[in-house]
Structure 1
Amino acid sequence: MSPTTYDLSVVVPTRHEATNIDECHRRVAAALGDDVTWELLFVDDSDDETPQVIEALCRRDSRVKLCHRSGESRTGGLGGAVTRGFALSTGDAVVVMDADLQHPPAVVPELHAALLEGADVAVASRYVGDGSTAGLDGRYRQGVSRLSKTLARRLLPRIRHTTDPLSGFFAVRRGVIAGASLRPDGYKILMEILARGSWDSLVDVPYTFSDRHSGDSKSDVREGLRFVRHTFALRRRSRGRSGDAARRVRGESPDGLRVLILTSEAPPVVSGIAKTVEMLQRGLRERGHEVDITSRQDFPRLMRREIRLSAFAFFWPRVARDLPTYDVVNLHGPVPTISETFLLLIRTMRRAERPAVVYTHHSDLAIPRLERWCGIYNRLAKALAHSADAVVVSSSAYQSKIGRTDGKAVEVIPWAVEAPAKAPVRAASPRMRVLFVGQLRSYKGLHVLIDAVAQLPEIDLTIVGDGPLRDELSTRIRSHGAANITMAGRLSDDELWQSYGNHDVITLPSLTRAEAYGMVLAEGMAAGCVPIASDLPGVAEVASPTGVVVEPGSVDSLRDSLAELQHDRGKLDRLSRASVERARSLTVDGMASSYEAVFSDGVRTRSQERGRLAVPERWSGPQEVVHALENALPDAKVSVALVTRTSRQSSIRVWCGGEQIATSDYDAARYAFDLSEPEVVASAGGLDAGAKILLDEQGATSAIFIPMRKNRGTVSVIGVSSSDDARRLGDADLDRAMAVLRGLPKERFAA
């Protein structure tokens, strides 16, 4: 007997795909076999013989289902067909794919496995690992695909977690789409799900976009225009306009924060910074926070060797429009033309709209032959850092270096290291094996490392990574005749961890303060490698407790330290065990917990500042006003609302009953700005919906509104409400409320 529910539902939207149906079914069945229970659901919008072909297949295989949409029921195009498939499917997980076999069914089990391993969304990506766009015929379609991807990533922050947001081949857990307000229009249903669905973790699974099995592509210029319109519409909805759910907060900061991380590098870029912000994002999400990442890659930029300039300032209006939707911005710097620009321009925003800003300082800027200009920039960056609500560094050396003059503490939060669950197998060797991992750039000091190891033929060195100096370093190795030095290029994560396990020493011979921590040192330590690193601020704190620090740029110092460990294997073993133990303390959850505390303090401070903006100057904050008025009007509910509004969005914060509510609603904002003087409002049928939001009282039948501190774009409103028809608020209650607020000039209560 066939089960009524399945482990997996495969939803396939079709239109005029009669010649592909049987082969699609054959390959899906071959890929899934009997390992899981599954159903194959075709949602068909065809006018040809396609539905008849599927009906014949249904009679042969009870796992195949058909929903044929005709006439007016074909709403939303392909995306509408997929959402209809979601509603009809019964699987715990749902895979979406095309019938033309450009989405290879052999990848379906990999997508399902990613969900079983903990991901909420698994995207088949053409742009990660061994993925390929081979099936996009011609430069025109490939160019359109790249342009569309860039547009979508810049307009919709939440989709940046995948390298292929336009993929039509993906898998989701049922909970991701349950209750989501999906309004797709056209082909790109994944964007809708990522922007509107409920998910925390996403993984990309590489695949090759194959040639069509048969038939013609349905993509045309009309679909392209439809995509652009839908992307902008989705961006407007994602900003939190009218109707967004309110977040209810106990105290001064919410339990679930909305966080924006603004950084120089983020995945899929491979670097220490990219890896750390990815771990921070994941750790915060696991603690219940919503976290987006924006990086230098999201803006036009000019890069020449170590000089990297961004057009971020020209995109500030777009960035500023989104900032009020976040509780906190975690700015990572210095990132010239981004971090200092952000800290300057955020001062132009209304104070009521600004999120809390937590600045994470990674290192000083240090570019060879530009030392003077770097010094000027570093002094500017330090001064601007003090304008943030909080400053975080990864070492005590930078804590003292960037110490604040306003008395606020600079928090030290070391970066985490995340070793694989299964430790790499360490093979014994009579020769000491040394490992370098990183970008092949001038400040990494690789010429010093090569010169040192070339004098130690009994030591083996492996260089992992790539970069602009690859050819130059290869030539240097050949000139030394150093057969004990190997350049391995880039490695996958699994290969890298095995490489850590195959070596005895991890080294970081960097030359400048552009290196401030050394994530690779901590990773190597977790696998049992002994760290040897340059004596630089931050870096030395990672290496010195269980390793060796050497003079930056000194071949002799590095060579002698390596030789000493080679000849004293007892010391090498002791340091290896100590390195493993120390790395175990650097957990992702510990790092996320520390950042969470800093973020909450910053949000609390910002909330208190907003509260002071919302009430007359003689009052300390909204809760004092609420308490005083509730004592004077014991049968009524009191609220204080702070409302900001622009032509594009609104932001509303309401304080009442020990809680704070954050929401966005244009009707409520319009109601607040239309108030010109204190007034009493009563209606037997209930008040206006916008008025109820300002009062945080859905059952209110009478109310008093007192507008205060109104200026361009911002207004605060004191509200007193009653839901009891027998207790109608009137002019006497207004007089009593005004008496409580007395001490201010009368005109202070008017617009």
Structure 2
Amino acid sequence: MSNLVKQGLALRDAVPQEEQETFAKIVISTPLSIIVPTFRECENIPRLIERVRALKEAHDISLELIFMDDQSRDGSVEVVAATGLDWVRILERDGERGLSPAVIDGFRLARNPVLVCMDCDLSHPPEKIPQLILALSSGQQFVIGSRYVPGGSTDDDWGFLRWLNSRIATLMARPLTSARDPMSGFFALRRADFEKARELNPVGYKIGLELIVKCGFENVAEVPIHFADRVYGESKLTLKEQLKYLQHIRRLYIHEFGNAMHFLQFLVVGASGTAVNLLVLSAILLTGLPEAVSLAGGIAVSLVTNFLLNRRFTFSYARDRNPWKQFAGFVGASAVGLAVNYGVALYLVSAVLPERPTSVYFAALAGVASGMLFNFLGNRYLVFRKRYIRR
């Protein structure tokens, strides 16, 4: 059965008879909770319930279906109540709105040992849930209903721009996971593994990727699905949500790669400071002021912008502290960094490098690198140090 999982888990009908029996036993004996985040999906809710009901009866599965609703006030609560099914419930959330927080809240309220997440717009086929469960039983930690493995597909009218957007988002997640479709909102995992996650703080709608990273999943399987376009209701995938994904992916990079990501952001901010320095220098020169004043003005303004950008992005965890103390520390670290820059360059050109015309340039570059590294370390561990150390 493990070979079948690695190949993407073919449809049940393609499995030999003896393996179908194993398949049925695993599915029947696995109680699961299906979590569905909703916002103004009253037209799709009864259709999804009917498809899950058919699945439940066909396989005799013990399950609960939980709709986590973000105060839709569109009749969703009444639709669920009208079904009279004791295994279906809807909870109206009072906290932070959003798909990812809704899923996390739903997982925490779930009663069963296996958790399944899916959308309410009928793009995810609930008929594939048994294959997800089968993959978990074969030793996988996280199972994705995937559009991009062999056998997976999307509707023909997806369009090039939507396809390109999905592919770019997937490519950006590649350093975090080798899964082909980590953007999928259709997945399954064990409750015990979910409870091991720490520091869950997803932004936007890519909760699956958040769980893969924060739970440290290494064994990720993908079941091929056909991803259908919604027929009823409106898509919640707006430009704002796509921008949130960039914020989310940045958070995950920092969580996964730590100081390397902080240093990269520090370098980017430094490069922007160079551009600001040159722009301000040029602007002041145009006013007719002396070069000395223009140089000082460029340095001063770039110092301020570097501080603000580093405080906002590179070391965003320290934004709640006194900015004036941080700015004083930033200036001090920068001043010492300049001294390190000059000292290293002077030492290399006078005592290490051979007497050649190009030696001074190599020394200067080494000095810049040393000063920048010192500035980063000084700011990271002194000016913007973290108050708490993770155990």
| TM-score between the two structures when normalised by the length of structure 1 | 0.31
State the partner residue of 1:509: none
Max radius of gyration: which structure?
1
Measure, in 2, the Cα distance between the counterparts of 1:646 and 1:123.
43
Matches within 5 A, 1:549-698: 669-670=381-382
State the partner residue of 1:231: 249
Judged with a 3 Å threshold, the aligned counterparts in structure 2 of structure 1 residues 26 and 649 are, in CA distance, closer, same or farther, namely: farther
Which contiguous aligned blocks of 4+ residues in structure 1 show a shift greater than 6 angstroms?
Answer: 645-650
More strand by share: 1
Measure, in 1, the Cα distance between the counterparts of 2:232 and 2:169.
25
In structure 1, give the amino acid aligned to 2:67. F
Alpha carbons 1:241, 1:649 under 8 Å: kept: no
| 1:188 aligned residue (175, 196, 206) | 206
1:196 CA drift (Å): 0.5
Measure, in 2, the Cα distance between the counterparts of 1:208 and 1:143.
18
Measure, in 2, the Cα distance between the counterparts of 1:159 and 1:178.
20
State the partner residue of 1:44: 69
Judged with a 3 Å threshold, the aligned counterparts in structure 2 of structure 1 residues 18 and 670 are, in CA distance, closer, same or farther, namely: same
Quick check: 1:66 aligned with 2:90?
yes
Please state whether the residue corresponding to 2:124 is helix, strand or coil: coil
In structure 2, give the amino acid aligned to 1:65. R
Measure, in 1, the Cα distance between the counterparts of 2:374 and 2:133.
44
Quick check: 1:113 aligned with 2:139?
no
State the partner residue of 1:178: 195
1:36 CA drift (Å): 2.8
More helix by share: 2
Judged with a 3 Å threshold, the aligned counterparts in structure 2 of structure 1 residues 144 and 37 are, in CA distance, closer, same or farther, namely: same
Judged with a 3 Å threshold, the aligned counterparts in structure 2 of structure 1 residues 21 and 689 are, in CA distance, closer, same or farther, namely: closer
State the partner residue of 1:205: 223
- Superimposed CA distance per residue, residues 34-64 of structure 1 (whole angstroms, 9 cap, x where no aligned partner): 533111010011132122212323xx11111
Quick check: 1:163 aligned with 2:180?
yes
Matches within 5 A, 1:208-607: 208-240=226-258
Please state whether the residue corresponding to 2:154 is helix, strand or coil: coil
Measure, in 2, the Cα distance between the counterparts of 1:11 and 1:646.
48
Measure, in 1, the Cα distance between the counterparts of 2:182 and 2:375.
29
1:240 CA drift (Å): 3.5
| 2:36 aligned residue (5, 8, 12) | 12
Alpha carbons 1:102, 1:213 under 8 Å: kept: no
1:198 CA drift (Å): 3.8
1:136 CA drift (Å): 6.3
1:166 CA drift (Å): 0.5
Extract unaligned runs of 5+ from structure 2: 1-28, 261-372
- Superimposed CA distance per residue, residues 204-235 of structure 1 (whole angstroms, 9 cap, x where no aligned partner): 11011012141221111111111111111221
Higher mean C-alpha displacement, 89-98 vs 25-34: 25-34
Judged with a 3 Å threshold, the aligned counterparts in structure 2 of structure 1 residues 217 and 670 are, in CA distance, closer, same or farther, namely: same
Alpha carbons 2:123, 2:228 under 8 Å: kept: yes
State the partner residue of 1:140: 161
- Superimposed CA distance per residue, residues 139-189 of structure 1 (whole angstroms, 9 cap, x where no aligned partner): 221111111111222xxx3322x1101001111111221131211111100
Extract unaligned runs of 5+ from structure 1: 243-644, 651-665, 675-687, 699-751
User: Percent of aligned positions with the same letter in both sequences?
Assistant: 36
State the partner residue of 2:79: 53
1:90 CA drift (Å): 1.6
Alpha carbons 2:68, 2:103 under 8 Å: kept: yes
1:85 CA drift (Å): 0.6
1:114 CA drift (Å): 0.7
State the partner residue of 1:84: 105
In structure 2, give the amino acid aligned to 1:31. L
Please state whether the residue corresponding to 1:158 is helix, strand or coil: coil
Alpha carbons 1:175, 1:198 under 8 Å: kept: no
| TM-score between the two structures when normalised by the length of structure 2 | 0.58
Alpha carbons 1:11, 1:95 under 8 Å: kept: yes
RMSD: 3.0
Alpha carbons 1:21, 1:54 under 8 Å: kept: yes
- Superimposed CA distance per residue, residues 63-107 of structure 1 (whole angstroms, 9 cap, x where no aligned partner): 11211114xx134x1001100111101221111001111001111
Alpha carbons 2:153, 2:227 under 8 Å: kept: yes
* Count of matched residue positions in the alignment of Structure 1 and Structure 2: 248
| 1:25 aligned residue (42, 45, 49) | 49
Alpha carbons 1:136, 1:209 under 8 Å: kept: no
Judged with a 3 Å threshold, the aligned counterparts in structure 2 of structure 1 residues 196 and 649 are, in CA distance, closer, same or farther, namely: farther
Measure, in 1, the Cα distance between the counterparts of 2:376 and 2:101.
28
Alpha carbons 1:94, 1:172 under 8 Å: kept: yes
Please state whether the residue corresponding to 1:191 is helix, strand or coil: helix
1:121 CA drift (Å): 0.4
Please state whether the residue corresponding to 2:188 is helix, strand or coil: strand
Measure, in 1, the Cα distance between the counterparts of 2:89 and 2:375.
47
In structure 1, give the amino acid aligned to 2:218. D
Alpha carbons 1:91, 1:174 under 8 Å: kept: yes
In structure 1, give the amino acid aligned to 2:76. T
1:13 CA drift (Å): 0.4
Measure, in 2, the Cα distance between the counterparts of 1:20 and 1:670.
53
Please state whether the residue corresponding to 1:172 is helix, strand or coil: strand
In structure 1, give the amino acid aligned to 2:217. W
- Superimposed CA distance per residue, residues 217-265 of structure 1 (whole angstroms, 9 cap, x where no aligned partner): 11111111111111112211222369xxxxxxxxxxxxxxxxxxxxxxx
Please state whether the residue corresponding to 1:205 is helix, strand or coil: strand
Higher RCO (CA 8 Å, separation ≥ 6 residues): 2
Measure, in 2, the Cα distance between the counterparts of 1:126 and 1:648.
42
Judged with a 3 Å threshold, the aligned counterparts in structure 2 of structure 1 residues 135 and 86 are, in CA distance, closer, same or farther, namely: farther
